Amino acid sequence: MEMKKKKFVVCIVAAFLAGAAVTGGSCAVAFNGVFGYVKVSKDDYEKMSQTYQRYGKLNQLYNTVNTTFYDDVNEESLMEGAYKGLVSGLGDPYSSYMTADEYKTWKATATGEYSGIGVTFTKDENGNFAVISVEKGSPAEEAGLKAGDFITAVDDKEYDDLDVIGNAIRGDEGSKVKLTYVRDGKEKSVTLIRQTIVQHSVEHKMMDGNIGYIRISSFIETTGDDFKEALKDIEGKSAKGLILDLRDNGGGLVNSCVEVADEFLDEGVVAYVEDRNKNRTDYEAKDGKTDLKTVVLVNENSASASEILAAALKDNGFDLVGQTTYGKGVIQSTAELEDGSALKLTIMQYFSPDGNAINKKGVEPDYKVKNEENSGSDTQMKKAVSLF
């Protein structure tokens, strides 16, 4: 009888190590040490079995690499690679795992001040890192980089993660970085010296015909307040209308976008998001708006938060001029982990007030106008002016 009991324990241990879930009864027996065993609850045992089924292969790979690789193994790098690989398995260009150093650098861009070369880019549906905009006066502009270029390597190293390549481009002020990019099918390389980039996301002026002009290049922490100041200045000069330029705006902070939308809309929905279970959250404007007639300029590089603003204004009767926007209509949530690393994960999709999806579709302008490259003429601007 004793032999049968020992054999039964061995069978359960073998089943667990093979990843099989043993149910039945109020408790199960789990392997503990070389010859011993302990009792665990049925629920805990099932969780242990499920964990082994899910990560047993990873553990086998880890042990094989750790004991067989020809050189010393850096365990921290090995596990970071596993974390990054897990998230990259989603196939979503906007979701990523960031190390503590990567996350610290990434957060700096949201404030509008960082050390780098002054280029904004995204990962398109083909996996290319496409330049959306270049900061005026930045090393990137001085080197001749333009919207539409494709970044292929940084310091001769290729990347497939959007945040990782962004961190590779940023660095200490005064340090050098080699950028390889493709334009019109031709590959070029340039070495730039990083400098402190202070983003000024709002520019404004008065144009001929008493028309105000405000350009928003991105949505950072200061955009909402800066836009209100610009709008107040233009209104104070008795402008008869306003052109809002969102061309080459790669997006940014949604709350800043909503602050700007609030200056154009009465109380109501600016945009709403839905998660995988169709749970809805609204972004709303408060009562009160400018009386200025406004025409909005957009192009194929207007992305993310700029598309949210453009879609909200279009649904509320504003005229859009230019090209269909980029089509990034999803929201990411970034959660910092205990060790300072972070998970950036796409969790929701945006919709315009009328329920129009933005992601992979973009926002179509009311007046489709294309600026011919190297023509020296801003046809889109001329069309916008003609609408007043």
Give φ, ψ of 375 to 5 degrees.
-80, -20
Amino acid occupying residue 96: S
Residues β-bridged to residue 203: 215
- For residue 149, give every residue at least 6 positions away whose Cβ sits within 8 Å of its Cβ, in sequence order, or none: 130, 131, 181, 182, 183
d(CA 140, CA 149): 11
**DSSP-assigned letters across all residues of 320-381:** EEES------EEEEEEE-TTS-EEEEEEEEEE-TT--B-TTT----SEE--PPTT----HHH
d(CA 234, CA 240): 10
Q: How far is CA 67 from the centre of its chain?
A: 38
H/E element, 61: helix 42-68
Q: How many helices (H) and strands (E) does the chain have?
A: 10, 20
Q: Which residues are catalytic?
A: 304, 315, 328
d(CA 234, CA 35): 82
CB of 203 closer than 8 Å to CB of 179: no
CB of 331 closer than 8 Å to CB of 251: no
Q: What is the DSSP letter of 194?
A: -
Residues β-bridged to residue 367: 321
d(CA 335, CA 218): 23
